[in-house]
Homo-oligomer: A and B are copies of this chain.
Amino acid sequence: MTKRVYNFYAGPATLPLPVLQKAQEELLDFKGTGMSVLEISHRSKEYGETHTQASQLLRELMGIPSDYKILWLQGGASTQFFMVPLNLQVKGKPMEYVQTGAWSNKAIKEAKLYGDVKIAATSEDKKYSYIPKGVKFSENAAYAHITGNETIGGIEWHETPKTPNGVPLVCDMSSNFMDKVVDVKKFGVIYAGAQKNLGPAGVTIAIIREDLLTRVPENTPTMLKWKIHADKDSLYNTCPSFAIYICKLVLDHLKSLGGIAAIEKTNHKKAKIIYDIIDKSSGFYRGVASPESRSLMNLTFNLSTPELEEKCVAEAKKRSLIGLKGHRDVGGMRASLYNAMSLEGTQKLAEFLTEFQEQNEKTSTIVSKQL
């Protein structure tokens, strides 16, 4: 049996072991072709089946209506940050964004290159520690944009905001894609880098309501038109076939577990285990996010000093709990509990955090008494 650690990285992130095993098993011989999936033509029958199945599985698991197209793209959510305004801008209409942290700020920066951007709501006043409530978008907005989950701050939208009639809601779901059941009909566009809940780095999913495909200006570069990729079933040019193949295996696995409703239950259980430890730690662990906006996926917390945080990360590593350091921009600690993180891994982390507190509070107490 290969050694396996518990991987709490924010992305690329842990993948289900059965997916990796299957990929390993057939890496030299894809479907009995005598070729690796890494080598086979993206226009071969054998790859074509996998390509189609990946989309079908996603449609089935998320309940994506038939008037939405599923695109498998490249370039990450960072590329969608400008493809969204490029494909959806309407002259004279503002593009409206909710500002909730580093990722929404990146999206806003790119949109400003294309026209008038309005901040519909912001949580900048409290260092992006919460999701604004009761957000109102203008009736004349070209579109409304939210960031479903901010990986750095560790906050998540738990309800889908309403937009006025005719204003499509666009959501960057990179870090909470398929973490819970959502009603796709409430969105005009959903996009997500795959490398958290869906697969490896190198493929980006976009789910787009058909009527939104035709807004794009004619003189746009071919590769930047969603419509081209929709019309060609994401095979206008060579697609990132291996990454899509892995996504297909992840979707198979998710289906075998009972689909998104089932994983949502597990995700709530997992998050509760860790948030409970934080809340009951009498301030030893301090949650960063406002409780009602806490992310199911990225759990952010601080200890009393950066030194203690560093010690905590290092000792966790000795226990095979990897990737707990917070984002370099904000410091602190972060445990990413994506779909593929097991309940078992979460419990190991919980046990460790409890012990770490016991050991390090004692030390503090002893130190205090000595002084």
A contact residues vs B (CB 8 Å cutoff): 2-5, 7, 9-15, 20-21, 23-24, 27-29, 32-36, 38-44, 74-79, 81-82, 86, 106, 109-110, 113, 193, 195, 200-203, 219-224, 236-243, 246, 320, 322-323, 328
Q: How many copies does the complex hold?
A: 2
Partner of A9, one of B39, B219, B236: B39
- Which secondary structure dominates where chain A touches chain B? loop
> Are the CB atoms of A201 and B239 closer together than 8 Å?
yes
Bound-state CA distance A241–B236 (Å) is 23
* Closest B residue by C-beta to A336: B41
| A20-B36, A78-B237 as given contacts; A41 in contact with B12, CB under 8 Å | yes
Bound-state CA distance A86–B203 (Å) is 24
The 6 closest A-B pairs by CB, nearest first: A202-B240, A5-B34, A82-B221, A74-B74, A78-B237, A9-B41
> Are the CB atoms of B223 and A78 closer together than 8 Å?
yes
Contacts of A201 in B (CB 8 A): 42, 238-242
Contacts of A240 in B (CB 8 A): 74, 201-202, 240, 243
Contacts of A32 in B (CB 8 A): 3
> Are the CB atoms of A2 and B28 closer together than 8 Å?
yes
* Closest B residue by C-beta to A33: B5
Bound-state CA distance A313–B77 (Å) is 41
Q: Chain B nearest CB: distance from A354 CB in Å?
A: 23
Q: Chain B nearest CB: distance from A154 CB in Å?
A: 17
> Are the CB atoms of B200 and A38 closer together than 8 Å?
yes
Q: Chain B nearest CB: distance from A29 CB in Å?
A: 5
Contacts of A82 in B (CB 8 A): 221-224
| A201-B42, A221-B110, A238-B12 as given contacts; A34 in contact with B76, CB under 8 Å | no
* Closest B residue by C-beta to A83: B221
Bound-state CA distance A284–B224 (Å) is 44
